[in-house]
Structure 1
Amino acid sequence: MFTNNDIARFRADTDGVQNVIHFNNAGSSLPTNQVTQAVLDYIREEAMVGGYELHALRSEELEGAYSSIARLINASVEEIAIVENATAAWNGAFQSIDWQEGDEIICNQPDYASNYLAYLHHPTKPIVKVIPNNDQGDEDLSAFKELITSKTKLVSITHMPTNSGHLAPAEEIGAICREHGILFLLDACQSVGQYPINVEKLNCDMLSATGRKYLRAPRGTGFLYVRKEVLPKLTPYTIDLHSATWTGKSSYEIRKDARKFENWEGNRANQLGLKVAADYAYQAGMDDVWQRVSHLARLIRAGIQEMDHVTCHDIGTRLGGIVSFTVEGKTASEVQQYLLSQGINVSWNGVPNTYLDMTAKGLEEIVRACVHYYNSEEEVEYFLNAIGRLVP
């Protein structure tokens, strides 16, 4: 559990907290000063000595990004690919599967739009089944088991959705997938950096993540984890001279590790920033981060419950740092702009972001207040007071 001194240190390491109350961490977190400095220093040095030359000079440090990510999620270095964002990571895994006509996908109700669009867009037109929620708002595991058939090729779960604080029972779903020998792809875009991710406990075969959200890394960073036993079964949709070797006029060999999902060019300064962010999160301690984020989110939900004109829309037995709500008589955009005028950053989602979940809840849009461990109780109180003034 973090002490007051810990929180003070985290805030001292985050200059942005002096300018704004940042409750948009599910969109893009405030980076630590260490992350920002690492990126700026690399860019300046690159401008002085040359891109390829600095890459060679600092190759060991850049390689360390793979070790830092692997350590954070309890994986091996050869199971990590660094890519430009979570969509590239997720599609790298999804498109590499040997899809056949009649194959089935099982997803959850809060699945993210980009993922579901990929199902619909795939030329084999896989059959998509959706796990229903139980009375508590969690994925119904008994119903999930009933959905599995001999045609089930992939279970694709959004761990934490973009439109609520819901946390899917990924560990239990992963265990069921492993029992049936079904590939399990976990979209951890919102959970990496706020929830203690352990790929062994999750039983996931593939995991996609971004850097810019709760991990507090630069925008334009992401990574893909692929379990080493699964790597030989997946063929990248695209390859280049980094992911494969041209061995003859009519021959080539694809890499054996997860880097077969990468390409040669990338932002090396951002890669270094991703490493620094992963190290910072690991050293902070993900169990304590999760406890802190959950605590601050509970404070907001409790405060909202006392307001007749504000409704919280988070469902499920385990809730994280994304608090979704609506304000009576106000559009989500109006709420966002009002809070911005009060020095508070939030964001909002509409139906297209999570069509299945939003329509099931009868919602057109929601506002997101997304807290992180560097936020303070005083900021939460200020936010609740501001929302309280938004009476119809």
Structure 2
Amino acid sequence: MNAEAVEYLRAATPGCARIIHFNHAGASLPSQATLDAIIEQLQREALGGPMEAADTQLQHRARSAAATLLNAPPEDIAFASSGSAAWSQAFNALGPWQPGERILVGRHEWAGNLACMAEAVKSGARLQVIPCDADGAVDPQALARMIDRNVRLIALTWLPANGGLINPAERIGQVARQHGVPYFIDAGQALGQLPCDVQALQCDVLKGAGRKFLRGPRGTALMYIRKEFLQRLLPQQRDVLSAPWDGRRFTLRDDARRFETSEVSLALLAGLANALEEHNRIGAGAIRQRIQRLSDHLRQRLPSIPGLTLRNLGPADQQSGLIAFTLEGWDCVELKQALAARRINIGANGVAYTPLDMQARGLESLARVAVSYLNTEEEIEALLDNLGELAASPQISISTHKPWRG
């Protein structure tokens, strides 16, 4: 991705002219075309009637674009309101848990997923953490040694929310498939940042939100369900779309839409369809290369700031665009607020987001920079300059900060 292409993409993204945005892992900046798609669908509904403006072609576009993103058949894709909603639907559709059944998770598992598993634990299931390797990633060999007939699920957060680690999702998938154990992937931070091929991952379920690196609207998410695994899932929520009346009985659909309902925001889906198509046109490989180059450069420069400590896991040459750190003398939330006053957005994560990993490392909170292909070297320099100033004068009032003007 050359400089001219980046400048074109930035010019098509209104937020790039107003702020420096390094919180793409929380929610990224949508393009003007994505905004237009949402507004145009709302206009059609307002002028012609919401039901009458329903467009089946729009849903087909979104599903086809998601299928291209994941290298999956369109019928294996379902849409949801959030990644957490999608994951909990799939997990709950596994059915009741029995005492002694085991769930194996990575130490970096997202808290929302753990909250769902907690209900299974109340029924007697056992939640067990897969050991990490020397770099802090989930260890596939250790996982293989844990497998027995009582293991009912392997769950992996591919890219944790609290740092740059990229877990070995494909190797975990090989172990899961070898032993015939269902395998769920939380790809919330991976979609839009890394190439994602569900055939290579060998997963049964994969989910991710539209608002992060995919640059879609909030309130959208997608879920892949392997067709051969679908029949084992019985969703608790059903309606005339997911379980239509066939003249004699209500029968669950035989595609992933058994997890959808007939009520959907077509405006948000229009925005997601546009964002997915934009991503596919750019290409996951080109996106990955640019994010890696920019984030590696920033990761090398950050330790030069006095009092700043990187808190990432994983090999230094194989990390994502998420960079976690702490700054001496600063609470991470207050640091985020101080940078926001200078019109620089970053994230801040506490124990509640990734409790198993944060507790294992004795960390209470982290500041997080998430790099996108939209970011530039000039923005990185501005971030470094402002962090340097804040490191030198943590007592300065937020109200005195000079805003960045791009």
TM-score for both structures, normalised by structure 2: 0.93
Matches within 5 A, 1:298-313: 298-313=296-311
Q: For residues 248 and 46 of structure 1, what CA distance do their matches in structure 2 show?
A: 32
- For the pair 1:120 / 2:126, whether they are aligned, the reply is no
- For the pair 1:273 / 2:268, whether they are aligned, the reply is no
- For the pair 1:390 / 2:390, whether they are aligned, the reply is yes
Q: For residues 246 and 356 of structure 1, what CA distance do their matches in structure 2 show?
A: 44
- For 1:353, the aligned partner's letter is Y
SS in 2 for 1:283: helix
SS in 1 for 2:51: helix
Q: For residues 54 and 304 of structure 1, what CA distance do their matches in structure 2 show?
A: 50
Q: For residues 390 and 57 of structure 2, what CA distance do their matches in structure 1 show?
A: 53
- For 1:22, the aligned partner's letter is H
Superposed CA deviations along residues 131-175 of structure 1, whole A, max 9, x for unmatched, are 121111221222111111111111010011111111110000001
Deviation at 1:196, TM superposition (A): 0.5
- The residue aligned with 1:195 is 194
- For the pair 1:296 / 2:290, whether they are aligned, the reply is no
Contact 2:306 2:391 in 1 (8 A): no
- The residue aligned with 1:60 is 57
Q: Which 4+ runs in 1 deviate beyond 6 A?
A: none
Contact 1:23 1:346 in 2 (8 A): yes
- The residue aligned with 1:364 is 364
- The residue aligned with 1:224 is 223
Contact 1:160 1:191 in 2 (8 A): yes
Q: For residues 371 and 91 of structure 2, what CA distance do their matches in structure 1 show?
A: 30
Deviation at 1:246, TM superposition (A): 3.0
Q: Which moved more, 1:297-306 or 1:110-119?
A: 297-306
- The residue aligned with 1:96 is 93
- For 2:12, the aligned partner's letter is D
Contact 1:119 1:125 in 2 (8 A): no
Q: For residues 365 and 15 of structure 1, what CA distance do their matches in structure 2 show?
A: 31
- For 1:67, the aligned partner's letter is S
Contact 1:129 1:147 in 2 (8 A): no
Deviation at 1:99, TM superposition (A): 3.8
SS in 1 for 2:390: coil
Deviation at 1:248, TM superposition (A): 6.3
Matches within 5 A, 1:331-346: 331-346=331-346
SS in 1 for 2:160: coil
RMSD (Å), alpha carbons: 1.2
Contact 1:194 1:293 in 2 (8 A): yes
Superposed CA deviations along residues 272-324 of structure 1, whole A, max 9, x for unmatched, are 11111111111101011011111111122111122231011011022111111
Contact 1:207 1:224 in 2 (8 A): yes
Deviation at 1:389, TM superposition (A): 1.2
Instruction: Give aligned pairs, total.
Output: 388
Contact 1:243 1:254 in 2 (8 A): yes
- For 1:52, the aligned partner's letter is M
Q: For residues 269 and 351 of structure 1, what CA distance do their matches in structure 2 show?
A: 35
Deviation at 1:266, TM superposition (A): 1.0
- The residue aligned with 2:319 is 319
Superposed CA deviations along residues 325-381 of structure 1, whole A, max 9, x for unmatched, are 110011011211111111101120111111111111111100111110011111011
Unaligned runs of 5+ in 2: 393-406
- The residue aligned with 1:286 is 284
SS in 1 for 2:192: coil
- For the pair 1:77 / 2:107, whether they are aligned, the reply is no
Matches within 5 A, 1:241-256: 241-247=240-246, 251-256=249-254
Contact 1:20 1:345 in 2 (8 A): yes
Contact 1:347 1:368 in 2 (8 A): yes
Superposed CA deviations along residues 232-290 of structure 1, whole A, max 9, x for unmatched, are 111112111110023468x3211000000011111101111111111111110101101
Deviation at 1:125, TM superposition (A): 3.7
Q: For residues 245 and 61 of structure 1, what CA distance do their matches in structure 2 show?
A: 21
Deviation at 1:61, TM superposition (A): 2.5
TM-score for both structures, normalised by structure 1: 0.97
- The residue aligned with 1:263 is 261
Q: For residues 29 and 100 of structure 1, what CA distance do their matches in structure 2 show?
A: 37
- For the pair 1:130 / 2:142, whether they are aligned, the reply is no
Q: For residues 131 and 248 of structure 1, what CA distance do their matches in structure 2 show?
A: 48
- For 2:64, the aligned partner's letter is S
Contact 1:20 1:344 in 2 (8 A): yes
- For the pair 1:23 / 2:32, whether they are aligned, the reply is no
- For 1:42, the aligned partner's letter is Q
Contact 2:306 2:388 in 1 (8 A): no
Contact 1:139 1:169 in 2 (8 A): yes
Q: For residues 80 and 137 of structure 2, what CA distance do their matches in structure 1 show?
A: 31
